[in-house]
């Protein structure tokens, strides 16, 4: 007999420290010779990102080791969200050469990990202007003595006083104290750029650009240029994309075919592109796999990869399209497949993984990616296309507790206002050692993801399990505006931020209550970043929720336009409307302007080093709440930016959130550090 206990009061082996220790996932995969490298989270090491290599040890077994010891932190701050922070090449003697960005000073460094006693040496200078010089998406060209990458250079003290170009940095260190030694390859005409992708013969380069007020998923362009013998880019032209067409990625095949992912048909699909298309022609592009599925996504960071060309030829007769292509595709979630561009045939990789991240690397017949499932966290997985075999090769997701405590997600479609579809993943309370009374309904927390142009996938997350194993359900909502469901779905949020997202989350909460899944008196909402906006706006606009958790949020539309970083400084044009309507929309929707409508308790969490959603937003909001006798708590964390990375921060935040629900939902448990709710 399983003991009976009220929802929310169940004992669980998944404590906050365990959830924090498993936060984050591998990113930015690459192959260096036969080795696979990636960046890995280290919450217990002040939240740094370690560069990890998988190599064959002396006994013939594979071992994982950090390329650099603490405090080296391999992470870029370009556009604040970062981008690919490293590149490496094998060498016949002396081991690999790696170039990386160190988070603390944002300089590029060169390092030879197999050269004993040789520390990383800086390649780029510091700058006293604004936030300095930043680098991302490096491409090593050792035969030319350079690394090509994105340069983000601040020209003044303000967050939007910045320019971005593709630049060439000498590998000999001559630019370490001399900014003039950095060669600029593009003219800075476009506000945003990705790093270059150089064709295998070295004669052409391709990259993506976009400009304010568009975000890259609104409209971007694929540029192609000739590379001269002395490393200049000439005859630059647009071959795909435009103001209402988003190109998410471009790359070259081994035979020089140019591939790109575009949403010109309403979904991000893979295309073969004519690199000689004249400027302004709109691009000659052939859809290689026309499906109502996403083969791309939102380009929040440079260096994301949803496809990777394989070296071998297509098995189709008369193939000349560059060979097979490893692709990520799907609706809502992405799986790994191998596409024959000549026939359009697409074969998915076998295995239990249901969600693949936009980072792929190829070496010979091997494709390597990062994948997870509802029963396993993110791990490095290899597909051998010659055999069809898949296996875990790195960052293996060991079970820290009995998997019987993991929640089982239910991917569902709900009906919202105007009969629109709303996609969500529902995680009911689950604990093998407890059952709930037959006459009790569980509390539920609606999770609103960030972005808002982003989405969540149904994978194992110990932060979710922390609540579900205690008897609190979670519903993650991919509200209108989310990626993964085509351009029309994500454009539902155009000029409707604070309306559609709020309505969709409330519709899911009400539906769960109406069908008897959730207790209508014990519903909460939580979210971070743009999700923090949705959580706070929901408390002001609806009476659905008994409380809320608001993490590093946007709270003031007018203020955020001047306070946030450059990339999102004009994001509100698409989300809320043109500048001339912003004041009106702010009064109608902003939690700051509608603070007097919030009547239920809330927890506000903020990083004090946040450059995306600065603490000033939270402070103004709290000033509006002062004296209103609404119970709330504010926790601010030194050394944390946008999104928490340190283990101790995540532990405090999780425990505080649980304490909020314990108090508001009337849950009886004495193992939660108390959160003081003041007024």
Domain layout of the chain by residue ranges: 44-185, 403-665
The pLDDT mean for the chain works out to 95
DSSP string over 78-104: TTTT-B--EEEE--SSS--EEEEEBTT
Cα distances (Å, whole numbers) of residue 30 to 87, 109, 138, 395: 8, 18, 12, 14
Closest CA to 222 of 295, 148, 277: 277
Burial class (CB in 10 A: 0-12, 13-18, 19+), 615: middle
pLDDT at 58: 75
| Alpha carbon distance 1, 5 (integer Å) | 13
pLDDT at 422: 98
Sequence length of the chain is 679
| Alpha carbon distance 110, 99 (integer Å) | 4
pLDDT tens digit sequence for 631-659:
999 999 999 999 999 999 999 999 999 99
pLDDT at 445: 98
Enumerate the β-bridge partners of residue 474: 427, 445
| Alpha carbon distance 349, 396 (integer Å) | 18
pLDDT tens digit sequence for 552-574:
999 999 989 889 999 999 999 99
| Alpha carbon distance 552, 607 (integer Å) | 7
| Alpha carbon distance 393, 594 (integer Å) | 51
pLDDT at 272: 97
Q: What's the average model confidence in pLDDT over 257-269?
A: 97
pLDDT tens digit sequence for 69-98:
999 999 999 999 999 999 999 998 889 999
pLDDT for 319 beyond 50: no
| Alpha carbon distance 215, 93 (integer Å) | 44
pLDDT for 346 beyond 90: yes
Q: What's the average model confidence in pLDDT over 342-348?
A: 95
Indicate the pTM of the whole model: 0.95
Cα four-point dihedral sign 281, 286, 291, 295: negative
Cβ atoms of residues 441 and 6 within 8 Å:
no
Q: Which two tokens stand for residue 665?
A: 């939902």
Q: Which CATH number fits domain 403-665: 3.30.450.20, 3.30.930.10, 3.40.50.1820, 3.40.50.300?
A: 3.40.50.1820
pLDDT for 315 beyond 60: no
pLDDT at 397: 87
Query: How many helices and strands (H and E) does the chain possess?
Result: 10, 37
Q: Which two tokens stand for residue 619?
A: 């402070």
pLDDT tens digit sequence for 280-289:
666 689 999 9
pLDDT at 277: 80
pLDDT tens digit sequence for 218-231:
999 999 999 999 99
pLDDT tens digit sequence for 47-68:
999 999 998 877 778 899 999 9
pLDDT tens digit sequence for 427-475:
999 999 999 999 999 999 999 999 999 999 999 999 999 999 999 999 9
Cβ atoms of residues 465 and 428 within 8 Å:
no
pLDDT at 17: 96
Q: pLDDT band at residue 1, thresholds of 50, 70 and 90? A: confident
Q: pLDDT band at residue 316, thresholds of 50, 70 and 90? A: low
pLDDT tens digit sequence for 18-43:
999 999 999 999 999 999 999 999 99
pLDDT for 540 beyond 70: yes
Q: Which residues fall within 8 angstroms of residue 494, CB to CB, at 6 or more apart? A: 574, 575
pLDDT for 622 beyond 80: yes
Cβ atoms of residues 120 and 110 within 8 Å:
yes
């Amino acid at each position: 007999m399983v003991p009976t206990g009220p929802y929310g009061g169940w004992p669980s082996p998944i404590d906050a420290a365990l959830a924090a220790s498993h936060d984050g996932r591998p990113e930015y995969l690459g192959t260096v010779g036969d080795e696979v490298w990636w960046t890995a989270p280290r919450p217990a090491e002040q939240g740094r990102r370690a560069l990890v290599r998988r190599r064959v040890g002396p006994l013939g077994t594979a071992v994982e080791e950090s390329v650099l010891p603490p405090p080296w932190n391999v992470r870029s701050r370009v556009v604040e969200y970062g981008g690919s922070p490293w590149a490496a090449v094998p060498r016949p003697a002396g081991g690999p050469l790696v170039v990386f960005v160190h988070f603390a000073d944002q300089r590029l460094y060169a390092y030879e990990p197999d050269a004993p006693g040789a520390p990383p040496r800086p390649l780029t200078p510091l700058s006293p202007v604004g936030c300095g010089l930043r680098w991302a998406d490096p491409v090593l060209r050792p035969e030319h003595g350079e690394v090509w990458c994105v340069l983000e250079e601040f020209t003044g003290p303000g967050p939007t006083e910045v320019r971005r170009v593709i630049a060439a940095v000498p590998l000999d260190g001559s630019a370490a104290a001399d900014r003039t030694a950095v060669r600029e390859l593009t003219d800075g005409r476009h506000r945003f750029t990705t790093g270059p992708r150089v064709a295998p013969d070295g004669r052409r380069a391709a990259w993506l650009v976009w400009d304010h007020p568009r975000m890259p998923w609104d409209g971007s362009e694929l540029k192609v240029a000739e590379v001269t013998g002395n490393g200049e880019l000439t005859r630059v032209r647009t071959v795909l994309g435009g103001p209402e067409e988003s190109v998410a990625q471009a790359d070259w095949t081994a035979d020089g075919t140019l591939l790109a992912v575009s949403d010109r048909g309403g979904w991000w699909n893979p295309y073969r592109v004519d690199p000689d298309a004249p400027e302004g022609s709109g691009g000659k592009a052939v859809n290689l796999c026309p499906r109502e599925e996403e083969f791309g996504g939102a380009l929040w960071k440079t260096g994301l990869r949803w496809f990777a060309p394989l070296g071998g030829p297509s098995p189709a007769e008369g193939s000349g399209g560059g060979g097979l292509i490893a692709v990520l595709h799907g609706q809502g979630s992405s799986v790994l497949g191998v596409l024959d561009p000549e026939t359009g045939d697409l074969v998915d990789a076998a295995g239990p993984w249901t969600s693949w991240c936009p980072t792929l690397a190829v070496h010979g017949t091997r494709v390597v990616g990062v994948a997870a499932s509802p029963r396993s966290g993110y791990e490095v997985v290899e597909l051998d296309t010659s055999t069809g075999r898949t296996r875990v090769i790195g960052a293996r997701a060991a079970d820290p507790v009995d998997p019987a405590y993991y929640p089982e997600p239910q991917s569902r479609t709900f009906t919202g206002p105007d009969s629109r579809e709303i996609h969500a993943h529902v995680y009911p309370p689950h604990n093998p050692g407890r059952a709930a009374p037959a006459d009790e309904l569980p509390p539920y927390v609606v999770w609103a993801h960030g972005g808002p142009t982003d989405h969540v996938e149904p994978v194992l997350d110990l932060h979710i399990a922390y609540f579900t194993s205690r008897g609190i359900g979670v519903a993650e909502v991919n509200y209108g505006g989310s990626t993964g469901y085509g351009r029309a779905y994500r454009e539902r949020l155009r000029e409707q931020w604070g309306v559609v997202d709020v309505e969709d989350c409330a519709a899911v909460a009400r539906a769960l209550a109406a069908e008897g899944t959730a207790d209508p008196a014990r519903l909460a909402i939580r979210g971070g970043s743009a999700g923090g906006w949705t959580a706070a706006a929901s408390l002001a606009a609806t009476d659905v929720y008994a409380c809320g958790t608001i993490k590093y949020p946007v709270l003031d539309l007018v203020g955020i336009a001047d306070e946030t970083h450059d990339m999102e400084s004009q994001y509100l044009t698409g989300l809320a409307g043109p500048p001339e309507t912003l004041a009106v929309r702010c009064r109608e929707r902003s939690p700051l302007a509608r603070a007097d409508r919030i009547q239920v308790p809330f927890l506000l969490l903020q990083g004090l080093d946040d450059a995306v959603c600065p603490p000033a937003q939270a402070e103004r909001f709290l000033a509006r709440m002062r004296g209103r006798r609404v119970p709330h708590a504010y926790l601010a964390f030194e050394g944390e930016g946008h999104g928490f990375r340190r283990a101790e921060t995540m532990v405090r935040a999780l425990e505080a959130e649980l304490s909020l629900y314990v108090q508001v939902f009337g849950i009886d448990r004495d193992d939660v550090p108390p959160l003081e709710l003041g007024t």
